[in-house]
Structures are given as structure tokens and as C-alpha cells.
Chains A and B, each alone.
Chain A
Amino acid sequence: MTKAPTPRERKEHRASVEVPALGPVGMARWAWRQLTKMSTALVLLLLLAIAAVPGSLFPQRVQDPGAVADYIKANPVMGPWLDRFQLFDVFSSYWFSAIYLLLFISLVGCVIPRALQHFKAWRSKPPRTPRRISRLPQYRRVMLGGRDGAEAPTPDNAIEQAAAALKKRGYRVQVQDLGTGAPSVAAERGMLKEVGNILFHVALLGVLISVAAGSLFGYKGQKVIVEGESFVNTLVDYDSFNPGTNFNADWLNPFSVTLNSFEATFNRDTADPDLYGQPTDFNADLTVRDSPGATPQDVNLAVNKPLNVDGTKVYLVGNGYAPVIRVKDGKGDVAYEGPVVTVPSDSVYTSSLTLKVPDARPDQLGFVGLLLPTAVSQDGSIPKSVDPGLNNPALILSSYTGDLGLDGGQPQNVYVLDTQGLTELNSMSNSNGPILLDGEHRKVDLPDGNGSIEFLDVKRYVGLDVHSDPGRIPAFVSFLVAFGGLIMSLFIARRRAWVRATETEDAQGVRCTVLEYGLLARGDDHRLGAEAEKLTALWTSLWEDRGVREYHLKSSDKA
């Protein structure tokens, strides 16, 4: 335990902070010494905590790039400045990285010497018995022998027995000065405390390196699959793909996944209207092939139950409805037929739909609108969805014709239709009104002979996240080591004990042996006194029949 600094210590402390007038090597050595000080580590830890806070105050690109863009748009003055200081990328920013890198350099500089020192301590013997054991924080004396005139063990004998008993208690022991009349044993236990401390710090470094490896060599991809469709783990098949900085596409393992069916369960308990219709369970039924020729396996995918294909994990992250639509163009040909993925926007799965039909002739067609899973219309007004379940699916759409602008080569968001430059055929505000399709009205002709749209069916789709993070397992193992090390370090006590035996006579003139023993803790150890008591009990059980009693000056004249 470190005591409050005495004035003199403080002065020394100050002296060591002053920059010595040394050359570059001296400066470097001085900087290194400053960096590897405990107080530096402490300040760096606090700085790290403070530096992490902005990461919760501002939207972060790692979390949601869209939110960052919106934030910058909403704050045109502050936004770019915040961006310049990397406040939207806190955890990959220069300043955050600088803090943790310094911290870990400090850690290495701190732990390596400690580890070496401990290795030496481990190999060497417990230190020599101090001349004055009585100076130790815990000090006791007992007198052996004299019970019904029983003989005491000789000092040498007593020390050997005490050493054996201490060894059994987990101490490593070193017997000294046998045959000198004042033999002693030096003992030490809890060497694993320091091992734990070192393991803990090294394993933290392991966690950091694992996480870094993950972000270098891992990847993340998203894919939406509609019931009945498949996905193959290749670069082209992804809707979006974020490789790690050093990722190589050849590393993708070629498994495939087919979505057989998807089921969402909703709360049907009417007791609390607020909760009615909340989702309670999502479940996807998949067929998985580990590699192109492998036997297919049926797998169940749920929200907290990812699929693991050789370390690549597939997560169920989203779901929704995909109405199956057939569009015929002005020439009467089928220009589109298939499911259209919609984006749910509320708790009753009112989902927005965007359909671009670039193959329609003579003019391209575009549709935007809503899918209502359970459409209910009151008094002829526009229908609304009242339930997330698929009870009365309906589509309300606006339609457009013209050049969709897809041929220009500019990438477009599939979920947004730019209606500028298009001719509106149907809409709320238009005399033709919107297109309304449901179970009864399956097909509508578009105005002015532009073709027709037919509502065939509704399928479900799932959004899958595919992740490969080679750092996951190493990070987990490092954590386990760190955790074990932490527990060892915090709850093992490191203590030294010394026992010395000398001869004396008690008041009755019986030859007795005085056993004096002291304990010293490394760090603060509130159980040191208890350990001293335990040792007393140990001696008592060893020599009970010969007599063990408190030793006091009056009963002896030869102390």
C-alpha cells in the first residue's frame, strides 16, 4: 500500500518531473519513464473515458452514416467543423487512437519490466529473515512446550515442522540458519497475484489486437431475400458490402442460403391496447449449403440465434412484406413480374413501395406508394393499416411514366423514385386518383393506355447481415484470460511470513522454544491479521500436546 506522500517524497517527485538537460537519448529515456508511470496510465485512462463521451453525443458513422449526413445538413455551420475534428468518427479519430495507443505503449512499458522482475522473484528464494521480525506489521510470539512438563521441540525441529506446515498452506519456504540456535524459515505465498495482474494487462493488449485484426481482415454484408429466393456468398450477390481494410474477396466462403418461409408472431393479447400487435417472435426457415456441392441442411434463424457457417455468421436483422406484382406496358407485354421489397415504416407494417419498370415500352413506368397489410377504410376515406398481420393486404400507389433516368449510368437508390421529369398518371392529387389494389380489385389499368398493374400475392422477405470477423474468437479468449487474471490479481493475497525459533525456559524452569513470527503483505491486505491468527492456530494444532502458549516477558529472562 502506498501511504500518503511525506513532504520529502513529494519533493523527490517534483524533481523527477523536471526535464533534465540531456541529449536526445536522455530526453527519450525521460519521456519513456514519464509514459510508463502509473499516474500517466491513470490519466490516460481518464482521458480515454472523457474522449469516448462525444461518441455518444454526436451521431457516429460506424453506427449510422445516414444520421451523420442528416446532422451535418441540419447544422450547416457546426457540422463541418465537428466533422473536421472527427467528432462523427470518434472511435477511429486521431485523438482517440492517440490516447489508447499511448495507453497501450505505456502498458507494455509497464508490464514487461514487471513480468521480468516477477519471473526473477519466482525463481529466487523467499528473502532472508529480517533480524527484527517484531518490526513487521503483524507480529506474534508463542512459547512451545511446558505442558505437564513436556519437552519442547528443538528450535531446528520446530522450524522444520513449521516450514512443512507453511508449505502445506501454499507458501513456498526457505529454511535458514539451522543449527545456529536461532533457525528461521522464510515463506511467501500468492505469487499468482502478480501473474494475474500481468496476464490481465497483456490480455487487454490481446483484446485490442484482436479487434484490430477483425477490422482489417473481416467483412460485413447485407442481403435481402424474399421467400423462395436464394443467396450465394459471393461479392456480386450482396446488396451492400463493407470489407475490412485488408480484406480479399477470395476469402468469401461459398455457402448458399435459401429462404423457405418466414414467420412473424405478434402479440394478440387484447388486455393492453398499447401492446396489441407488437412483434413477439421472428422466425426464418432456411436451407443452407455449406459449399456448392454440400448436402442441404434445414436451419431455423431467429433474432438472437445467428447461423454460423464456418465462422461466417448470418444474422436476421430485418423483415417485411414483398408484394408480387405484374406490370404490363403500353404494348401489352409483361414488363415486370415478381416480388417488390417494401420498407416497413411503422408498427403496423405500413410499408413504402417503390417499383421502377425500365423495361416498359414505349415509355418506362414507375410506381410509388404503400402496402397496407391489414387495410381498413372508414367512410370511403383513404384506407389505413390497423395490424401488422396479413389480413387484408392492399396497395395504394401513384404511377408515373417517362424516362426514369436509369440509363445515364448514375447509381440510384432503389427505394427512391425521382419523379421530376416524369408524367404523373395516378396520384392522390390527380383526377385519376391513386391506384387501389386489394383482394377484390386485383388488377387496374393505367390511364391513357399505359398498360396495367396486377397484384398477385404477398410474400415475406428477410434482411440478413453476413459477418466475418476473424478477431472474434481471439478477442473472446483474450477476454477470458483478462477476466481470470483480474480475479487472480484482485483476490489472491501476496504475503510473506517469517518464523524464527529460539530456546528459553519457562517460569517452572522447563526448556521451551519461543516461536516468533511476522507477516508482511504486498499491497494492502486487510486479512493479514487473520492470517497471523491462522498461523497461531496452525502452531497450536502442531504442538498442542506439548503446550502452546502466549509468550510474555515475565515468564522468561533470556528473551
Chain B
Amino acid sequence: MAYFENAEEVYKYVGGVFRAARDNEQVGPKMAAADVDLQIYYSDPESKLTIRMHEPNLEVEDGGDDPNADIKLFMPADIADKYWRGEYNLAVGLAKGQVKAKGPVNKILKLVPLTKPLFPMYRDLVSDKDSVTA
């Protein structure tokens, strides 16, 4: 059974952690410096996020669909949940084809270490949902 019930939950929690990254004084500027547009397509539930990282801003668009994004990622939303909990190795997922990518993925892998401090924040974000579903 999928962790997120609908797209709105993906936007609340996964979109939420990207917004937390944007607002984090340490992480936000470094991610904004990546100078890429990232488009993520999730399945189960179908949902999508556009993340525009250009100094000095990081913009998060729930439901956004930018066909011209520099990098596109395709993954089940459950993988996004596991990743943000710190329980999923994105490089392994890419190698095994569980996460599919188009574009210069190297630029996204460079951002992975920056996201580690956000894992506790994400776990806090989903703790309300976890307590209901537990």
C-alpha cells in the first residue's frame, strides 16, 4: 500500500521538505546555486513537482510540469518518502533503474549531501501522518 494517499499529501510533505530546504539558511542558498530546473514525476499517487533552483531563489511548484526542465526524475512517491527519511540511496536507485532520470544527473547527485540535514525535518513533517497510520 502506498504511503501517500493522494497528490495533495505528496505536495504537503515532499513539496513541504523542498520548501523547508528553501527556507533553511544553510541549505537554501547552496541548492539555489545549482542553477537547474528539476522536474519530478511521481507515481502512486500520480503527482509532480517543479523545483527551480537559480540564485538567489529556490521555487517549488506543486503540480508543476516543465517539459523543458534541465533534469527530469521519475519515481514512485514511496521512494521519495524513503529518501527524505534518510532510508534510500538515490545513487543505488538510479543504478538499479528504480529511479529514472533524464539530463545531467550529476548536478542532482551533488545536491544529495546538502539534503541530509533536512531528513530530521522531514521526519517531523510526516510524524503527524505516521501517528495516524501507525
Q: A and B: partners?
A: no
